[in-house]
């Protein structure tokens, strides 16, 4: 079970990484367009790579085989953690085969809406396949069924392709995607933040801490040591 962040925003990536629960990032042309214009694409991707230090998906925008392969080779040459997102389709499948087999480039077949497409993606040799949860729901189909079927097939057939679920719109989508068999769920930052929150948790912590404060104020409890930031630093340094 792994969580990726679905954004190109450096601030959000930095914050989410500091929680210690994120092991990769995914981008796409629409996500890149959410960032303030006028930036260098290469510099932006390398900034994300530097922060994440793990797989980061970057999508090609060319639509024919030759164009996709050439574009992919350029992006892949920037850093070994770059995974090339290739849109699902006939040209895409051919590009994946070429990139994975002949060029040693890792790919992520994207915009998958059915288990039939996921089968083709896996057989083309892709390292990752991305099923789009929210967009499958938009069409009136059940994304959980698509994920469950694909995950079962991959396991049954010993397929090495890792299953990513993206197009996440609610925190419930994340749970359902993992329960249906996703290896990785890629989540926008606002939803990651919501995952940390629960009013009952906040109420409980407030209750515990106010009881503790009251005990201290009334002198009903003695604390042997005062916690000072300096002491914490020294302990940590000794451990290393």
DSSP assignments along 76-118, one per residue: HHH-TTEEEEEESSHHHHHHHHHHHHHS---EEEEEE-SHHHH
Say whether residue 173 binds ligand E4P (CB under 6 A): no
Q: Does 128 bind ligand E4P (CB under 6 A)?
A: no
- For the chain, the distance separating the N- and C-terminal CA atoms, rounded to the nearest angstrom, is 28
Residue 210's Cβ-side half-sphere holds a number of Cα atoms within 13 Å equal to: 6
What is the distance of C-alpha 85 from the center of its chain?
13
26 touches ligand E4P (CB under 6 A): yes
* Active site positions, annotated: 85
Q: How far is the CB of 188 from ligand E4P (least distance, A)?
A: 7
CB of 26 to ligand E4P, least distance (A): 4
- The Cα 228–Cα 219 span in angstroms is 20
* Residue 166 or 181 with smaller CB distance to ligand E4P: 166
Which residue, among 149, 127, 126, 146, has the nearest Cα to 24 in the 3D structure? 127
Contacting ligand E4P within 54-73 (CB under 6 A) = none
Distance between CA atoms of residues 172 and 176, nearest Å: 6
With binding defined as CB under 6 A, does residue 135 bind ligand E4P? yes
- Does position 166 interact with ligand E4P (CB under 6 A)? The reply is yes
Q: Quick one: which of 136, 186, 191, 192 contacts ligand E4P (CB under 6 A)? A: 186
* 167, 180, 182, 185: residue in contact with ligand E4P (rule CB under 6 A): 167
What does the binding site for ligand E4P look like in residue numbers (CB under 6 A)? 6, 26, 28, 30-31, 110, 130, 132, 134-135, 166-167, 186
């Amino acid at each position: 079970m792994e969580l990726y962040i679905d954004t190109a925003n450096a601030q959000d990536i930095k914050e989410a990484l500091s929680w210690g629960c994120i092991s990769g990032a995914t981008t796409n042309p629409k996500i890149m367009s959410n960032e303030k214009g006028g930036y260098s694409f290469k510099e932006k991707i390398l900034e994300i790579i530097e922060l994440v230090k793990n797989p980061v998906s970057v999508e090609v925008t060319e639509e024919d085989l030759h164009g996709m392969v050439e574009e992919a080779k350029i992006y892949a040459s920037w850093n070994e953690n770059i995974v090339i997102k290739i849109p699902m389709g006939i040209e895409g499948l051919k590009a994946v085969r070429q990139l994975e087999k002949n060029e040693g480039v890792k790919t992520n077949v994207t915009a998958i809406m059915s288990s039939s497409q996921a089968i083709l993606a896996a057989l083309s040799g892709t390292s990752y396949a991305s099923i789009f949860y929210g967009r499958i729901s938009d069409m009136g189909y059940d994304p959980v069924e698509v994920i469950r079927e694909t995950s079962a097939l991959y396991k049954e057939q010993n397929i090495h392709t890792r299953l990513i679920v993206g197009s996440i719109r609610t925190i419930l989508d994340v749970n359902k995607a993992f329960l249906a068999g996703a290896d990785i769920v890629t989540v926008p930052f606002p939803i990651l933040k919501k995952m940390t929150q629960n009013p009952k948790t906040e109420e409980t912590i407030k209750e515990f801490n106010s009881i503790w404060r009251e005990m201290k104020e009334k002198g009903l409890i003695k604390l042997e040591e005062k916690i000072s930031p300096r002491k914490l630093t020294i302990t940590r340094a000794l451990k290393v």
